[in-house]
Structures are given as structure tokens and as C-alpha cells.
């Protein structure tokens, strides 16, 4: 029975991790962001004619349970043993819990275009000033390779979206043409990603003291902190590639139905 007990124990500890990281709450936030993005697609691709049918399709694609499970799969790949326990210990602490609350609140706040614009402007003002708080945030960004990982994820998702449109005969493009078309936007995506990350992290961590922020930056540079970031991207990357392809498929079907 000892052989069977190990994976059961590991599974239980990953369930604890999911609870500590409040991934169900994060999944709901991502679901809400998905609805906003779906409305943008409706406006830009369907001239606002999607209606309730399109809205329901988007809701199913961004199902919170699907999002949560995708996050878990990624975390299970990179966190085990000591690194797993160190992540649980940190985010079960008072500081770790506050950080999660602040991140989730900031993410919801940035859904307001006015809030996002103000946060981006604040980041731009501080970017090259040597601000002590921003220095700690930059440590986190570097430790997690957050800019490049987010850019790569965005590019891969865009490729999948375009593939769905091509597979649905909406466009006639070769694989090389798809890749070139998407890569042409890399610099723009990278600049936007850097601005958004800086704005988000500055806003989220503004209530923390410099000492608390430094403690979090220290954690982000540990093996556990790096593994946590790697785990999130290991979950998000395939998840959002699948979502992007599904959105492209849904658009093709909706456009076909309109033509009929």
C-alpha cells in the first residue's frame, strides 16, 4: 500500500496548493476577462451581432472549472517535494495571503479602462527613476521571466486563433504566412506586455511596505518561486492556445450561420 500512498499524498498536497493559491477565485477572474474579450471579438469580427448565442459560446469556452483544471495541471508538473511545501508555506502566511488578495483585487480593478490607463501612466513615470519599490518589482519580473513568457504565450495563442480561421476556410494562408503575420506584432505585444505588467504589479503591491515587497521579491528568486511561475505558465500556455483555437472555431461557425 505504500506504493499507492505516494501519488495519493502528492495529489492531496496539490489540492492544498490550489486552495492556498485561491486558484478557483483566479479562474473566475479569468472567466470574467474572457467575457470582456469575447465582447471585443463580437464588436470587431461580428459587428456586434453575436447576441446571446455568441455570449453563451464564450462562457462555455472560458468555463472556470476548465481554467482551474488547466492551472492545476501546470502546477503539478513543476511543483513537488520541498518546492511544493515552500510555496504552500509562503502563501499560507499572512503576507502570502495578503499578496493574493491584492493581486486579485488589482486584476479586477484593471478591467476598468480608466484604472488601467492611470496605472500604466504611473508605471511609465517611475520606470527609469530608480524607484525602490519598482526595483523590487523588476526583480520579480526578471526572476519569473514574466515579459518573455507572456509574450510567447500571446504569440502562440494568436497562431492558434489564426489556424482556426484558416481551418474554417475563413482565410487561405500557409503555416509560414500565419507565423510571419503573428510575429510581425511581436514588438508591439512585448511593449504592451511590459506596460501592463508594470502597471498591474505597481497597483497590486502599493499597500505593501518596502520591506514586505522585498520579502516577496526574495521569495520570487528562490527555487520555489521560480518553479511556481514556471508551473503557472505550464498550465496557462496550452490552456490559452486551446481557448484561442476554440474562439476562432466559434467565430467561423457564427459567421457561417449569419451567411445562411
Query: Over 90: is that where the pLDDT of 259 sits?
Result: no
Cβ atoms of 72 and 21 within 8 Å: the answer is no
| Residue (of 164, 157, 156) closest to 248 by Cα position | 164
Where residue 258 falls among pLDDT bands split at 50, 70, 90? Answer: low
100 pLDDT band, cuts 50/70/90, is very high
Q: Are 145 and 154 in contact (CB under 8 A)?
A: no
Residue 257: its pLDDT value, please? 66
The whole-chain average pLDDT of the chain stands at: 93
Residues 6 or more apart whose Cβ sits within 8 Å of residue 252: 164, 165, 168, 169, 170
Q: Which three cell numbers stand for residue 43?
A: 464588436
**Inter-residue contact 178 to 162 (CB < 8 Å):** yes
Q: What is the mean pLDDT of residues 83-108?
A: 97
| pLDDT value for 6 | 42
Note whether 90 and 96 are within 8 A (CB).
Answer: yes
Confidence (pLDDT) at 175: 95
pLDDT one-digit tens code per residue, 42-78: 999 999 999 999 999 999 999 999 999 999 999 999 9
Amino acid at each position: 500500500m505504500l506504493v499507492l500512498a505516494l501519488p495519493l499524498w502528492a495529489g492531496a498536497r496539490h489540492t492544498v496548493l490550489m486552495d492556498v493559491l485561491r486558484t478557483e477565485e483566479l479562474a473566475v477572474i479569468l472567466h470574467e476577462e474572457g467575457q470582456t474579450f469575447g465582447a471585443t471579438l463580437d464588436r470587431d469580427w461580428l459587428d456586434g451581432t453575436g447576441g446571446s448565442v455568441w455570449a453563451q459560446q464564450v462562457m462555455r469556452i472560458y468555463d472556470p472549472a476548465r481554467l482551474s483544471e488547466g492551472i492545476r495541471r501546470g502546477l503539478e508538473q513543476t511543483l513537488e517535494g520541498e518546492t511544493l511545501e515552500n510555496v504552500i508555506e509562503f502563501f499560507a502566511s499572512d503576507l502570502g495571503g495578503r499578496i493574493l488578495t491584492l493581486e486579485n483585487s488589482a486584476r479586477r480593478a484593471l478591467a476598468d479602462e480608466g484604472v488601467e490607463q492611470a496605472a500604466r501612466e504611473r508605471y511609465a513615470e517611475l520606470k527609469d527613476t530608480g524607484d525602490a519599490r519598482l526595483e523590487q518589482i523588476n526583480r520579480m519580473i526578471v526572476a519569473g521571466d514574466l515579459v518573455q513568457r507572456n509574450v510567447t504565450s500571446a504569440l502562440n495563442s494568436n497562431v492558434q486563433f489564426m489556424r482556426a480561421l484558416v481551418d474554417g476556410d475563413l482565410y487561405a494562408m500557409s503555416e509560414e504566412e500565419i507565423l510571419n503575420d503573428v510575429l510581425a506584432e511581436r514588438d508591439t505585444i512585448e511593449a504592451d506586455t511590459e506596460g501592463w505588467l508594470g502597471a498591474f504589479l505597481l497597483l497590486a503591491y502599493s499597500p505593501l511596505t518596502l520591506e514586505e515587497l522585498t520579502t516577496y521579491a526574495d521569495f520570487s528568486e528562490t527555487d520555489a518561486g521560480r518553479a511556481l511561475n514556471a508551473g503557472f505558465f505550464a498550465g496557462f500556455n496550452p490552456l490559452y492556445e486551446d481557448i484561442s483555437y476554440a474562439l476562432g472555431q466559434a467565430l467561423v461557425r457564427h459567421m457561417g450561420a449569419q451567411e445562411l
